[in-house]
A and B are shown apart, each in its own frame.
Chain A
Amino acid sequence: MHNHKFAWASILLLAAAALCAGLYIKLYASAGSDGRSVSVVLKSSSVRSNFWQAVSAGAAAAAKEAGAAIDIQGPLEETDADTQVRLLQDALATRPSSVVVAPVDDPRVSKAVLAIRDAGIRVVVIDMPLQSGKAPVSVLNDHREAGRQAGQTAAELTGGRPNVAIVSDFERSRVSGERKAGVEEAVGAYPGGTTQIYYCEDSEDKAYDIMRAVLDMPEPPNVVVALNETAALGAARAIGEAGEQRIKLIGFDSSIYEIRLLEDGVMSALIVQKPFNMGYLGVKAALKRAELRGARRVSYTDSIVVTKSNMYAPENQKLLFPFDGGS
């Protein structure tokens, strides 16, 4: 009889305690930072790289919005796989709730990223997919689409008759490969649209030489698409010196030099990515607890075509002229 009563009493008390504890924990958990943390390992943390600074700002914005702690790291050089592997290992050691990585094109980096994933940490790959291994959730720059945009712009600039010289850096570069494929795809859609590929091996002088040679051709192409900044600067120099205004130049990314070329009219259009959005979406994806069933595991950030006429539009200024005040 007595045992019965005390059982009742203790059940009631326990229930009340459990209820309160539950509420308390829920309150504690929902307020504050959740205790979530994101480690972001970029390709480059150089302050001179506007692109990566914007990615970093976007990542920080997403973390702030979610109230999560964030740590952003990256090697100084975009090709420094060793440092990136070390940074990834450091990130794994601190055991954050998720890791966002913009991988350097190197199998060792892929291995380090997969090791983090295997340790049960949520991994989001941004910018470019891993060189090898099954991609986790990724937020990528759609370089092929950017290439298509460049090809489309080339066609528009030439009244639908694009004869395009593509100046790339290396044949093995995946970014350039994607962009080239995109350009070829868009140009190929036009009757009489042709493309010719040149490799400047990331040397401005070589790009200049290539461009001189191209301009000296009896039937020079009417559009040059330079797949990266070095190629664009070399080509622009050659075109500027030749005073050739008929030939249009389309470039990728944005640097102060390219902007000046755009303002000068030597550069007809720039295909500009949205690094801030990439960083933001990457971290946002990383802070998600899990993928919805059937949700896409890969998403892309878009690019825009900036010309001289719209370069000072409010929405484009922020992309072209990175401002250290956040975005």
Chain B
Amino acid sequence: MLRNRRPFVPFFPLKSIQSSIAVAFSCLILLTIAATTFFSYRLSAGAVRQNAEIYIEEVIKQVNTTIQSYVDNMENISLLALTNKDVKYYISSNSFITDEERRPYEKRISDLFQSILYTRKDIASIMVFGYNGRYVSDRRITTLNPNAPLREQSWYIGARQAGGKSVISAPHVQNIIKDEYRWVVSLSRELKNTDGITADGIFLVDLNLSVVSDLLRQIDIGKKGYVFIVDREGDIVYHPQQQLIYSSLRTERIADVLRAPSGTSFAVDDEDGKRFYSVQDTNFGWKIVGVAYADDLIGYKETLRNTLLISLIGIAVALLLSLALSHRLSRPIRNLQRSMRLLEKGNFEVKAPVRQMDEIGQLSRTFNMMVGQIKNLMSEAISTQENKRKSELALLQSQINPHFLYNTLDSIVWMAEQKQHEKVVLMTSALARLFRASIAKDRELVTIGVELEHIRSYMLIQKMRYADQLEYRIEFDEAILKYRTLKILLQPFVENAIYHGIRHLPEKGTIVVTGKEQDDAIVFEIEDDGVGMTAEALEKIWQPRPVEDGFAKGIGVGNAHERIRLFFGPSYGVSIRSEPYEGTRVTIKIPKVEN
């Protein structure tokens, strides 16, 4: 049931530690900056919003004050009419003014209204309607619109119902005067008799709506921002897009506005965009509402731009920094890696630089120690191996061929039978010398003099055996005798020359053994004029000899060569030149080793 667990694959399959660190840093930094930017944006956006709200609130307050002042002015005008004796008498129900006396009253009232109108450009008209059927306006001649019955006008009805309090109408078309259709806001008020109880008529002041609409249009709350007014019931008093609202092409948040207390604001975020509503109540029942779009407010944009710009720079710097840091941090690792790669290639001389004693420094140090250890172990192993081989080879070389021994002893017996006593003595002593050299195991190196003695003894024995076949010469420079050489170095080659070169000759063969100085080295040569070898045969003799009956069949050229190189280094050794039916020359080169 256990599923094969896949090997762990890192999220970022990155090749180097540096890129891992860089990516990790970058992610971290990006995240941090994003978070910081987000929060600082939220904070500053909040501040901007607050400022915007305060600003809109101020603007709307200003509008409120201005509209209030218009209304107050209308109110004052109404008070003026209310307290004016002429007006009072003129519309009084128990009027003592006869129709003949009417004219001067009318004129005085009209003059009063006119003078008010001159000073106030915002007022469209001022009128008084008495319940006694009389009316006066600011004009000399007032013709009422026959199609607009007074008692059906909403401002008239409103004022009667309010009983002495002033009533502000919504903007409407005033059609009470014939042939005049003006957009106005009306203030109407019932006028009381001098007794203060019975009512005598209605007073009307009309404010030009253009005054209000101009004011609202001039308000600057962004490109798309606007101001609208609703009354207590939520009916729109003024809205720049009133027709669209009537046609249901647009909706306005009137319910929210009605719920909002004066001097507060609320935010709305829908498909039309985020915007702030700021609400102010007037004391005559209107609610003035300013609407500002969030993206319209200059501060908003600036804040956003600045926040983003700063975070942009921040991110750029941070990314560069993270790259530099990761480079810096991963450098010792890379150095160590480089050293390790060198070690891999077999260079035991490498040394990882240790700059500081941090983890990587310690690692480098341990690495260096390890490399040293390995190097020591390696050389130890090599020398052990060499020594082992050396002694092996030495042993091999010091062995005396039993056939040789047998043959020599046979020769001695034969000579003794012949009563050739002197020869017997000579050969036996030569054999004894030969043995002495072989059994001198204590030292590997002997003087060339000893070696000369050895080769002489050997040659003497062989000469005595093959007297009619073998001729030999031994020529050693006197100067080299003091130097040292490996013991029993030459004998195998001489043996080879006899058995393989000379013995098969039909006539007598000659072997010349020389030893001389050559520059810094000593060179021995064993030269014979025997049968010689072909190139293939020459090739063959370099191969190691198989061991038979515990004895190597001859020491072997390869072994001798190896022995020299083990002892003296790779620049020394054996070289052979051979020509079939011409002879063979073996050259052995060793260094000058003094005592």
Contacts and interface: CB of A to CB of B under 8 A. Distances in A.
Interface in B240-274: 240-244, 246-247, 249
B16 A1 contact: yes
Given A263-B147, A317-B173, A276 B243 contact: yes
A319 interface: yes
A193 to B, nearest CB: 30
A32 B273 CA distance: 13
B249 A265 contact: no
A323 B147 contact: no
A20 B305 contact: no
Contact of B249 (A13, A280, A317): A280
Contacts of A312: 172-173, 175
Interface in B282-325: 295-296, 300-301, 304-305, 308-309, 311-312, 315-316, 319-320, 323
Nearest to B26: A12
Nearest to B19: A8
Contact of B246 (A16, A23, A318): A318
Given A20-B312, A314-B172, A323-B213, A31 B319 contact: no
B243 A277 contact: yes
Contact of A277 (B249, B296, B300, B305): B249
A325 B243 contact: no
B345 interface: no
From B170, B181, B244, B315, residue with most partner A Cβ within 10 Å: B244
Contacts of A89: none
Interface in A1-43: 1, 4-5, 8-9, 12-13, 16-17, 20, 23-24, 27, 30-33
Given A31-B295, A280-B249, A318-B243, A20 B147 contact: no
Contact of A327 (B22, B210, B243, B295): B243
B15 interface: yes
From B15, B209, B226, B247, residue with most partner A Cβ within 10 Å: B247
Contacts of B327: 5
B210 A324 contact: yes
B10 to A, nearest CB: 15
A314 B170 contact: yes
Contacts of B301: 27, 31-32
A315 interface: yes
Given A9-B319, A61-B244, A263 B295 contact: no
A274 B223 CA distance: 25
A48 B148 CA distance: 26
B315 A16 contact: yes
B223 A20 contact: no
A285 interface: no
B568 interface: no
Classify chain A's interface size.
35 or more
Contact of A281 (B147, B239, B249, B305): B249
A126 B217 CA distance: 27
Nearest to A21: B312
Interface string B383-398: 0000000000000000
Given A17-B316, A321-B183, A67 B243 contact: no
Interface in B1-51: 15-16, 18-19, 22-23, 26, 30
Chain B contact residues, majority secondary structure: helix
A71 to B, nearest CB: 16
Chain A contact residues, majority secondary structure: helix
Contacts of A58: 243-244
B214 interface: yes
A323 B173 CA distance: 10
A326 B305 contact: no
Contacts of B242: 318, 327
B316 A13 contact: yes
Nearest to B14: A8
B22 A9 contact: yes
A30 B170 contact: no
Given A9-B319, A27-B308, A327 B240 contact: yes
A286 interface: no
Classify chain B's interface size.
35 or more
Contacts of A308: 147
B145 interface: yes
Contact of A326 (B23, B213, B295): B213
Contacts of B309: 24
Contacts of A33: 223
A30 B295 contact: yes
Interface in A278-327: 280-281, 302, 308, 312, 314-315, 317-321, 323-327
A174 interface: no
A326 B217 contact: yes
B35 to A, nearest CB: 15
Nearest to B154: A312
B507 interface: no
Contacts of A8: 19, 22-23
B30 A16 contact: yes
A5 B296 CA distance: 44
B304 A67 contact: no
B473 interface: no
A256 interface: yes
Given A5-B18, A30-B295, A67-B224, A317 B172 contact: yes
A323 B238 CA distance: 12
Contacts of B295: 30-32
A148 to B, nearest CB: 19
Interface string B166-207: 000010110100010101000000000000000000000000
A185 to B, nearest CB: 24
B32 to A, nearest CB: 13
B269 to A, nearest CB: 14
A260 interface: yes
Nearest to B214: A325
A20 B308 contact: yes
Interface in B121-171: 145, 147-148, 170
B63 to A, nearest CB: 14
Interface string A42-79: 00000000000000001001001111000000000000
Given A321-B181, A326-B217, A276 B244 contact: yes
B247 A277 contact: yes
A259 interface: yes
Interface in A242-269: 256, 259-260, 263-265
Contact of B240 (A20, A320, A326): A326
Given A12-B26, A16-B312, A302-B247, 6 more contacts: A5-B22, A13-B316, A13-B319, A280-B249, A314-B170, A325-B213
11 contacts: A4-B19, A12-B22, A12-B23, A16-B319, A17-B316, A27-B304, A259-B181, A318-B246, A323-B210, A325-B183, A327-B239
Interface of A: 1, 4-5, 8-9, 12-13, 16-17, 20, 23-24, 27, 30-33, 58, 61, 64-67, 256, 259-260, 263-265, 274, 276-277, 280-281, 302, 308, 312, 314-315, 317-321, 323-327
Smallest CB-CB A-B distances: 3 pairs: A325-B213, A315-B246, A263-B147
